[in-house]
Structures are given as C-alpha cells and as structure tokens.
Amino acid sequence: MAAGFNKLIDRAQHRRVIRRWRRARERADAMDLFDLRKLRTRARELRRQIDKVLHVAEGRLALPLIGSNAIEKPLHADWAWRPELWRGPVSPPGVAAARSKTRLGDELRLFHDCEISELTLRQVRNLHEDDLAPFGLRMDVFRFDGNFLSLVLDLPSDAVNGLRKRHLVRMTTVVDLEQPLEIFARLNVRHGPNTEQLVRELQVIDGRSMVEFDLAYSNLNEKRVERAWVDLIFEGPQMNQITLRDITFSRRPRAEL
C-alpha cells in the first residue's frame, strides 16, 4: 500500500516539474536578463543530471548487454581478452580536438604529430544485431597535417604471463570505414632492455579482420618478458570516420612438430 502511495506522489511531483519548466519556457522570451541567467543556470544543472541518467539508461537497455565478454576464441587458446573501452563505459566518453597522448579510459591512448588537431574520439554504443561487444570506438578525422596517427592499447599482465616463442597472438577487429584506409597493427613485447616488434597489415573484408603475430620469428627472451602493447597505425586518415566496433586478442601455442 505504501509503495503504491509513493508511486502516486512521484507521478504527481513529476507532472508538477514538467508544468514548472513548461511555464518557464513560455516566460523566457519576456523575462529580464538577471532572472533569465538564473533560470539558465538551473536548466543547465538539471540537464547535466538528465544526460547522466539517459547515458546510463540507454547503455543498460540497449543490446548487447554491458559487461558482456563473449569472445570468439581459437581452439586451444590459453588467454583471450577484450579491452575495457569495448566492454563498458569509460571516462571521459569522448574528446574533441584530441591532443597527442590523449587517454580514453585506462588502456587506450591516441598519438599523432598534428600541429592543429581536427580529430575527435568517442565511445559509442554498439547496436548491430551481430555485435558481441557492448561498445565501440569512433574516430572522426577531418584535416590532417601530421605524418602519423596511431592508437596504442596496453595489454594486461595476463597477456605476457607464461608467454613463449611458440605462441601465436591473434587480434580480431570489426571496423566500419567511411573511406578505404590502410591500417597496420604492431605488437610490441618488452623483454629486459629490448622490445620485439611484429607488424601486420589488416585486410578488412566485410568489416572484419584477423591478424596473427608468430613469436617464433622473434628474438624474444622468454625469461625477461615484462609487458606488451599494440599500436594501430592509420595511413592517410584525413576526411574519414573510423569506427572500431570490436577488438579482441587471444593467444594459443602453435602445434608441436
């Protein structure tokens, strides 16, 4: 009974608030500037709270579900991972006129050498029925006066625990491009004072790409592996919109011969 009564009060209060702001909208044209400034401040405070509620609600009510970590793994994979930006909301959710070394979340950084940045980064909600990742990353590039543009993803410690030269490291991506674009992936593995680097070009077919890094072709010192990260390098990115709808990593030992 009490719960029903509280719901009635909530609905009545909601209707009063709507009426109050409807009257404020009607009076705004004739209101003196002092009162109008106060009204604008209150409206902005209210809008910030409403935007936060909408961000959370739309994220939770859309599919795929936030927190979903379904990953297509190769047979015998001993590690698989999807970065946080593709799993759940990050802060900040977006950056305009993004400078070099800008971070989105804790694992992703943007690098470029533009004098004037006309790049925007923002996390977007995935809505395709075949998406496994709840979120994606959209990068809009307008005029580009630099020589390089890359996204750097720090891999977690689990990626290098027990890493051996017999491992194959796989990266799969789902990407939408406004214009055709060359994209390269570079795996970097720090071992002691040295860093091994393996580079592969992404061949995007129907929006999907898969590359593998074979550590057998590296000079990896298995006893001194410290950390790993991946550079996504974009060639000639100007006047393009790039949406990385998903990115996952996995590793598996190669078959013994």
Coil/strand/helix, residue 17: helix
Peptide bond into 92 cis (omega under 30): yes
- The candidate with the shortest Cα–Cα distance to 231, out of 137, 111, 66, is 111
When mean pLDDT is compared across 98-107, 121-130, 197-206, 240-249, the lowest value belongs to: 121-130
> Which CATH architecture group holds 79-253?
Sandwich (2.60)
Q: Look at the pTM and tell me if it is higher than 0.75.
A: no
Q: Which residue has the higher pLDDT, 18 or 243?
A: 243
Assess contact for 236 and 181: CB atoms under 8 A.
Answer: yes
φ/ψ of 116, rounded to 5, equals: -120, 115
- Start-end ranges of CATH 2.60.120.260 in the chain? 79-253
φ/ψ of 157, rounded to 5, equals: -60, -30
Q: Which residue has the higher pLDDT, 67 or 105?
A: 105
Instruction: Identify the pLDDT of residue 162.
Output: 92
Instruction: Identify the pLDDT of residue 127.
Output: 81
Instruction: Identify the pLDDT of residue 86.
Output: 93
| 3-state percent helix, strand, coil for the chain, nearest multiple of 5 | 25, 35, 35
Mean pLDDT for all residues in the chain? 88
* C-alpha–C-alpha distance, residues 158 and 163, integer Å: 9
The residues that bridge with 241 in the sheet, in sequence order, are 140
Instruction: Identify the pLDDT of residue 2.
Output: 54
